[in-house]
Amino acid sequence: MFFPESTATHDSTGNLYPLRFSGAFSLELTLESGQFFQWGRSGDGFVVQSGPNVFYIEQRNHTLWYRGISGVIDPQWLRRFFRLDDNLAEIFREWAYEGVLQRTYERFAGLRILRQDPWECTLAFLCSMASNIPRITGNLQTLARRYGTTVASGGTGRYALLPGPDQLRAASLEDLYDAGLGFRARYIHGLVPKMGGEIDFISLAELPYEETGRLLTSVHGIGAKVADCIQLFALGNLEAFPIDTWIRKVLHTHYFSPEIRSTKRLAPMARDYFGSRAGYAQQYLFHGSRSGFIAVKEGTSSGVPGRG
DNA sequence: TGCCAGGAGTTAG
DNA sequence: CTAACTCATGGC
């Protein structure tokens, strides 16, 4: 479970509410696919935190069963969060002749893009730079416990929400270093005062992809990749195509010449090639390569030097 | 010990 | 535009 203040699992006598969907959906694949870090396993399912909501959820075939922990959970909010209205079959029909992508879709059908809280998504992917999933999760847990709001749920434990910008304003640069963020601390510390002014996710959601990207990358610490993650995983801009080391390997192995190294050139090519919903292609290619399902050549990923 | 982890900023050419 | 270096830290 996520950010537990105790080790209690969910109350097995509590009522679970059904949420049905059409088409393919895999709760497990979606949560495990590296786009979202505010979840944990609990019993037969998962505890998830997004924005003010903490809830338990499990999947039995074509029905999700859920129960609010922080309070009542709106099923329409859940549909939107998990993007249950996306028609995956229709989306992937566009790539019917893409051998690699089509095979990956058939293997992992049900993996969906989420629609996360933009602020929390930004925090997470600022933490993600040159890091790994366990550490990202740990960083977020530390921030939640130190600066977030604690949600008490009768008899089922306590959960800490991620802090909002106003709550995080209490953290000094030193505090954030102390939270284990490393060099990412100054990026987060620099972003907090911009929130609500220069960066306003409510108005950002209304802008087209290019303009949103320009605004996001104007923030110190948000580059093209992190900006694309925010656009794809939170703002619902499916044309975003985040390029990390894995995606770079896939593109260089199966799509574009390894001579095209820089993300600056690669990203527009990929977006043009995969089209208006390129982000779904990206997520399947990412998961496919990380899981070993898609073979990739090593040594093609030097566009982003690790360290000297 | 050395290398990697869903990068980005800065500087030099 | 590209290339090389730096930024911290945990884990194996």
C-alpha A29/C-alpha A35 separation (Å) is 11
Encode pLDDT of A85-123 as tens digits.
999 999 999 999 999 999 999 999 999 999 999 999 999
Q: Given a cut of 90, is residue A75 above it in pLDDT?
A: yes
Confidence of residue A157 (pLDDT cuts 50, 70, 90): confident
C-alpha A56/C-alpha A9 separation (Å) is 10
Q: Given a cut of 60, is residue A250 above it in pLDDT?
A: yes
Q: Note the pTM of the prediction, 2 decimals.
A: 0.94
Give nearest nucleotide to A282 (CA–C1'): B6
Give the per-residue pLDDT at A216.
97
Please compute the mean of the pLDDT values over residues A33-51 and round it to a whole number.
96
Give the per-residue pLDDT at A297.
86
Give the per-residue pLDDT at A218.
96
Would you tell me which residues have their CB within 7 A of strand B? A 33-35, 128-133, 135, 183, 217, 219-227, 229, 242-247, 263, 282-283, 286, 304-307
Encode pLDDT of A192-240 as tens digits.
999 999 999 999 999 999 999 999 999 999 999 999 999 999 999 999 9
Please compute the mean of the pLDDT values over residues A46-70 and round it to a whole number.
96
Choose the weakest-confidence range: A54-63, A82-91, A162-171, A256-265: A256-265
Confidence of residue A14 (pLDDT cuts 50, 70, 90): confident
Give the per-residue pLDDT at A8.
42
Cα A15 to its chain centre, rounded Å, is 29
Overall size of chain A counted in residues: 308
> Considering only CA atoms, which of A110, A122, A118 is closest in space to residue A21?
A110
Strand B contact nucleotides, protein CB < 7 Å: 3-10
Give the per-residue pLDDT at A156.
64
CB A270 within 8 A of CB A255: yes
Q: A262 CA to B11 C1', in Å?
A: 18
Would you tell me which residues have their CB within 7 A of strand C? A 130-132, 134-135, 177, 180, 182-183, 261-262, 264-265, 303, 305-308
Give nearest nucleotide to A241 (CA–C1'): B6
Cα-based angle A39, A74, A200 (whole degrees, multiple of 5):
70
With 0-12 / 13-18 / 19 or more C-beta atoms within 10 angstroms meaning exposed / middle / buried, residue A65 is middle
Give nearest nucleotide to A217 (CA–C1'): B8
Q: A135 CA to C9 C1', in Å?
A: 10
DSSP state of A248: H
Report the phi/psi class of residue A182: left, alpha or beta, with left for phi > 0 and alpha for psi in -120 to 50: left
Strand C contact nucleotides, protein CB < 7 Å: 1-11
Cα A255 to its chain centre, rounded Å, is 25
Closest residue (CA) to C1' of nucleotide C7 is A183
Encode pLDDT of A175-194 as tens digits.
999 999 999 999 999 999 99
Give the per-residue pLDDT at A153.
74
Closest residue (CA) to C1' of nucleotide C2 is A262
> Considering only CA atoms, which of A255, A239, A221, A243 is closest in space to residue A127?
A221
